[in-house]
């Protein structure tokens, strides 16, 4: 597709269940980011993938959170044993590699996760 | 110190007013700077890049002050439709370091 695609757009899950969120970046974009945004709050960095380099996981809030990316394509963010405080919009963004002319980051529309 | 800092606001301004936001960054080696706009319950989208010499796009003016390590966004003749959260973005000098987003400044333009 032309833009960053995220699925599902909405997810309601019971506390304690695992969830998997998917991000399909723009073709050719080597950089991929996951952010969390709680209602009325700013973006909270979670994890960053750049090509085949080791990901920057410094923003992951706990070991219940993990993410994978296969090459320069789809990424999945997994939250295990979900808690109510995990309720937020999870945004994915992708961009060309740094050092190229245009490193604008494009965002997907997000996955709204509600843990009940 | 946070890598990128913004006043969260909200800035409540009347229509037609001029409003300015600043954003400070801690990494002096930062290379590129952007302002993004995020509407309520929407994803952030690029508003404008910030060039070293400063740049203007209609009612919007972006400035970079490398000596003091901040960027600014000036909005003239505010419209109701300018109500949004404005995020500043800082990109490091090449390599594999990540782009850093500020947490945003909320602007509410009131009639």
Q: Model confidence over A19-50: pLDDT tens digits? A: 999 999 999 888 899 999 998 888 899 999 98
Q: H/E element holding B105?
A: strand B105-110
Residue B2 contacts A, CB cutoff 8 Å: no
Residue B97 binned pLDDT confidence (cut-offs 50, 70, 90): low
Q: How many Cα neighbours within 13 Å face the side chain of B72?
A: 11
Residue B100 binned pLDDT confidence (cut-offs 50, 70, 90): confident
Alpha-carbon span B42 to A41, nearest angstrom: 13
Residue B92 binned pLDDT confidence (cut-offs 50, 70, 90): confident
Bridging pattern class, strands B105-110 and B11-14: parallel
- Beta carbons of A31 and B98 less than 8 Å apart: yes
Q: What is the pLDDT of residue A101?
A: 54
Percentage of chain B with pLDDT > 70?
95
Q: What is the pLDDT of residue A53?
A: 85
Instruction: Look at residues B38, B2, B7, B39 and name the one whose alpha carbon lies nearest to residue B23.
Output: B7
B47: DSSP letter: E
Q: What is the pLDDT of residue A75?
A: 97
Q: What is the pLDDT of residue B105?
A: 95
Q: pLDDT at residue B6 above 60?
A: yes
Least confident of A65-69, B43-47, B50-54, B65-69: B50-54
Residue A35 contacts B, CB cutoff 8 Å: yes
Residue A107 contacts B, CB cutoff 8 Å: yes
- Beta carbons of A43 and B32 less than 8 Å apart: no
Residue A90 contacts B, CB cutoff 8 Å: no
- Beta carbons of B42 and A33 less than 8 Å apart: no
Intervals of chain A under pLDDT 70: 1, 98-102
CA distance A110 to chain B (A): 7
What is the per-residue DSSP string for chain A? --S-EEE-SEEEE-TT--EEEEEEPPTT--EEEEEEE-TT---EEEEEEETTSPPB-TT--STTEEEEE-TTS-EEEEE-S--GGG-EEEEEEEEPPTTSS----EE---EEEEE-
Alpha-carbon span B100 to B91, nearest angstrom: 6
Q: Which residues of B53-66 are buried (b: 16+ CB within 10 A; e: fewer)?
A: eeeeeeebbbbbee
Residue B96 contacts A, CB cutoff 8 Å: yes
Chain A interface disruption, residue of B96, B104, B106, most A CBs within 10 A: B96
- Beta carbons of B101 and A35 less than 8 Å apart: yes
Q: What is the pLDDT of residue A81?
A: 98
Residue B12 contacts A, CB cutoff 8 Å: no
Tell which wins on pLDDT, B30 or A93. A93
Q: What is the pLDDT of residue B57?
A: 94
Average pLDDT (B15-27) is: 94
Q: What is the pLDDT of residue A105?
A: 87
Residue A9 contacts B, CB cutoff 8 Å: no
Q: pLDDT at residue B15 above 60?
A: yes
Chain B interface disruption, residue of A100, A103, A111, most B CBs within 10 A: A103
Residue B10 binned pLDDT confidence (cut-offs 50, 70, 90): very high
- Beta carbons of B89 and A31 less than 8 Å apart: no
Residue B65 binned pLDDT confidence (cut-offs 50, 70, 90): very high
């Amino acid at each position: 597709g032309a833009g960053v695609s995220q699925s599902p757009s909405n997810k309601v899950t019971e506390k304690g269940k695992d969830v998997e969120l998917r991000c399909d970046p723009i073709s050719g974009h080597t950089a991929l980011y996951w952010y969390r945004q709680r209602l009325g709050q700013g973006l909270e960095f979670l994890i960053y993938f750049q090509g085949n380099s080791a990901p920057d996981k410094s923003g992951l809030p706990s070991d219940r959170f993990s993410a994978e990316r296969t090459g320069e394509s789809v990424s999945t963010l997994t939250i295990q044993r979900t808690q109510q405080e995990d309720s937020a919009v999870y945004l994915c963004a992708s961009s060309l590699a740094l050092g190229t002319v245009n490193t604008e980051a494009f965002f997907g529309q997000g996955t709204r996760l509600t843990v009940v | 110190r946070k890598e990128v800092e913004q006043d969260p606001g909200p800035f409540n301004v009347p229509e037609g007013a001029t409003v300015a936001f600043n954003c400070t960054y801690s990494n002096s080696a930062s290379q590129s700077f952007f302002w993004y706009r995020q509407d309520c319950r929407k994803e952030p989208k690029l508003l404008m890049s910030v060039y070293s010499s400063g740049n203007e796009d209609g009612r919007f003016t972006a400035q970079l002050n490398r000596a003091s390590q901040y960027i600014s966004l000036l909005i003239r003749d505010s419209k109701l439709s300018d109500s949004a959260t404005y995020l500043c973005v800082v990109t490091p000098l090449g390599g594999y370091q990540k782009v850093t987003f500020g947490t945003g400044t909320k602007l509410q333009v009131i009639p």
